[in-house]
Amino acid sequence: MVSRLSSNWPKERSVETRAGELRMLRQGRGEPVLLLHGLGSSADAFRRQLADLSDEFDLVAWDAPGYARSADVAQPLTLDGYAQAAVDVLDALDLDVTHVTGVSWGGAVALGVALGHPARVASLALIGSTPGRATDPAAAAGLRTQAERIERNGVAAYARVRATEVVSDHASPALVKEEQEIMLASVRARGFRSAAESLARADYGPELKRVRARTLVLVGDDDEVTGLKQSKALAEGIPGARLVVIRSAGHHANQEQPEVVNSELRNHWRSSSRSV
């Protein structure tokens, strides 16, 4: 991790859920926010949000089942299963109503929380996300191919290539290295396979009209993983959703342009306050 964040280190905590023991980072005070990472990440991908937004919000970033320091998945989970695990985390922390923010696959999990447990969601923020890949055979096949490559060649080989794909051409070598380090420390083949398959099989598209939480959709203008088309589908499908395109950012816009993303998130959470 980059040194400038080391002086503002969040607290670690583990809780028991139906998906096993899950580890998280927690920092801050104020209204609670649940942060859900993408397929190749972990709670560590939210260091800049934890550092910069904890003055006003109580931030909880999980390691999803099968990732980083959380327990392995006992059996594959559906997106709804991951959403239930996220709600189990909220229950374990005695958090009733929470702002929920997800990146990429984590955004799809966040959608599952908003659809399955609407009373628990004060607001929704989706970064570089998608309603699922079941209706796009090429995208679904791509997810399965990633899992196969990890199983065949290992995480290091995956990280060397993937770290350059989740950022824009403007990204610094330091950020690319950081992405690699997070992937190496976070991804395990079994957990990745379960998460990738959950996204490949899911399609929340027809259900987007049921989302009642105030929703912000963020996407990098150089996102070549999910891309602007998927974010537009989310923004057009969710009633009242607002779409913001982040300049000079790839798929992991929250890591590449944290100042811009953090400003958007802060304003969204403030304006969506329900005194949670």
Radius of gyration of the chain (CA): 17
Residues 247-265, mean pLDDT to the nearest whole number: 98
Give me the residue spans of the domains in the chain: 3-271
pLDDT in the model for residue 264: 98
Please give the average per-residue pLDDT across 13-23, as a whole number: 95
Q: What is the pLDDT of residue 275?
A: 47
CA neighbor of 2 nearest in space, from 55, 39, 51: 51
202-253 confidence digits (pLDDT tens)? 999 999 999 999 999 999 999 999 999 999 999 999 999 999 999 999 999 9
Say what the pLDDT of residue 273 is. 83
Taking CA atoms, 240 is separated from 35, 80, 215, 235, 275, in Å, by 22, 24, 7, 8, 21
Which pLDDT value is given to residue 49?
98
Q: In the chain, what percentage of residues exceed pLDDT 90?
A: 95
| Alpha carbon of residue 233 to chain centroid | 18
Q: Order of strands across the sheet with 57-62?
A: 11-17, 20-28, 57-62, 31-36, 98-103, 121-127, 214-220, 242-246
Mean pLDDT of the chain, nearest integer: 95
pLDDT at 10 (0 to 100): 79
pLDDT tens track for 169-207: 999 999 999 999 999 999 999 999 999 999 999 999 999
Residue 4 has pLDDT above 60, yes or no: no
pTM of the model: 0.94
For domain 3-271, give the CATH number: 3.40.50.1820
- The pLDDT tens digits for 34-67 are 999 999 999 999 999 999 999 999 999 999 999 9
Percentage above 70 pLDDT, the chain: 96
Report whether pLDDT(164) > 50.
yes
